[in-house]
Amino acid sequence: MQTSSQRSPVTRLLLGLIITLSAVVAYSFYIRLQLTGLRRLQSEMVDRNRKDSLQLLRVQNDLNSLALAMRDMLDTSGPYPLTAWQAQFERIRGDLEVALQIEEQLASANRTEDQRRYLSQSVAQFWDAVNRMFALAAQGKDAEAREQIRLTLQSRQESLSTAVSRLLVQNNEGEEQAAGRIAQIYDGVQRQLYFFLTAILITIVATSLYLMHSNRIIFARLAALSAQRSELAQKLISTQESTLRNISRELHDEFGQVLTAIGSLLRRAGNQLPEGSKVREDLQEVRAIAQGTLDNIRSLSQALHPVLLDEAGLVSTLDWYLPTVERQTGLALHYEKSGDSFALDSAASVHVYRILQEALNNVSRHSGAREAWVRLKFGADALELNVEDHGKGISPERNGRGIGLIAMRERAESIGGTLALRQPASGGTEVCLRVPREKAAAHAE
């Protein structure tokens, strides 16, 4: 059963992402509702009140025109009879009715029933009085008509103007209230935006901290697994070298001594037989087979773990090994040594030798090349080994993934070195090993 530190953080991160996205969607929906309400408020109240005020100003302008006309009608020194004003009154009446109809439609939502009834009744009463006044004027009763204007029409016109003024004031107050409500909505949206941004930032910070914590745990586990893998690889390499060394020693000492003794016995037995004897020829043939087997065992022993590596060092071992590879594989090897050689640690010598051995095996088996270049350089600060061929090269999908290449990297890392694979300009593969001098010669100085 996994502990909480070993559980994948994906579930919690997905949950946090879902919560964050849900909050964004919910807030976006909330903002949309607020803006829609604000737009409706502006269009239905502010714009309507503004248009209604324009119509009320139009009504008030018509009422003022009527007041001016009635003032002129009361002037007895005028050259025109009262009936001459009837056309102007009809024109103003038509414009006033149109303005009142439009205003009635715009103000239907904000106007009370009493206000609508009072305004319509006042207008109707005013025009009834106008009709009576022009009827008197048509009968030649100008004095009575002017008295009608003075006592009735002017007072009714003033009442209408006062009512329209009150409606304009009411519209202005409505606009101020709408502006206040709009400001409240803006303030609310702004506060909600700040709260939302703060919550989102807190969520992001919390998610980031959790992700960092989870990554730290994962990387610590990966580092531990990498260390365990490296330790296991080093133990496997060490076990492999120990096994090969023991097998090499057993082959060289036990089987070599046995075959040497057999050859000696066969030689002494053959010497006791007369020349030309059939048995003596058979013994010599068996002795030759034993000697060939002994030579093969010694070659196999050297291949498994060259004794020369322990006794004479890396340079002398390579001087013996490279010609042997040429004979066995048919490769033409160009060997270059440079720098002042220094004594190498035994472990470093073994690992460098094994890396060279694996690199040449890859050239022989996989590259298709018939020649290779081996360069060994003893630098002031590092030991460098390069193995280059101009063959097919390593395919990208297999680059660094083969068992042999992995073993080479592990060996390089075990002695503190680095291994790189490069592609020369002429094609092929170049294996580059670099080991710091203090690592390679740590136990030799």
CA 271, 274, 275, 278 torsion-angle sign: negative
Confidence of residue 444 (pLDDT cuts 50, 70, 90): very low
Contacts of 185 (CB under 8 A, 6+ apart): 34, 37, 38, 41
pLDDT tens column, 184-222: 877 777 787 788 778 878 878 887 787 788 788 888 888
Residue pair 253/307 in contact by the 8 Å Cβ criterion: no
Rounded to the nearest integer, the mean pLDDT of the chain is 80
* Cβ(58)–Cβ(220) below 8 Å: no
Model confidence at 7, pLDDT cuts 50, 70, 90, reads: low
For residue 4, pLDDT beyond 50: no
pLDDT in tens, 393-430: 776 555 555 677 888 888 888 888 899 988 888 788 99
Q: How far is it, in rounded angstroms, from Cα 356 to Cα 340?
A: 20
CA 92 from chain center: how many Å? 72
Domains of the chain in sequence order: 4-212 (1.20.1330), 309-440 (3.30.565.10)
Would you say the C-alpha torsion 46, 48, 50, 52 has a positive or negative sign?
A: negative
Which pTM does this prediction carry?
0.50
Q: Tell me the residue type at 365.
A: R
Tokens of 371: 């020649």
CA distance 107 to 100: 10
Q: Look at residue 433 in the predicted model and tell me its pLDDT.
A: 93
Residue 266 near residue 286, CB atoms below 8 Å: yes
Task: Give mean pLDDT, residues 278-289.
Answer: 80
Structure tokens at 432: 């580059």
For residue 107, the Cα-to-chain-centroid distance in whole angstroms is 56
Query: What confidence score (pLDDT) does residue 399 get?
Result: 53
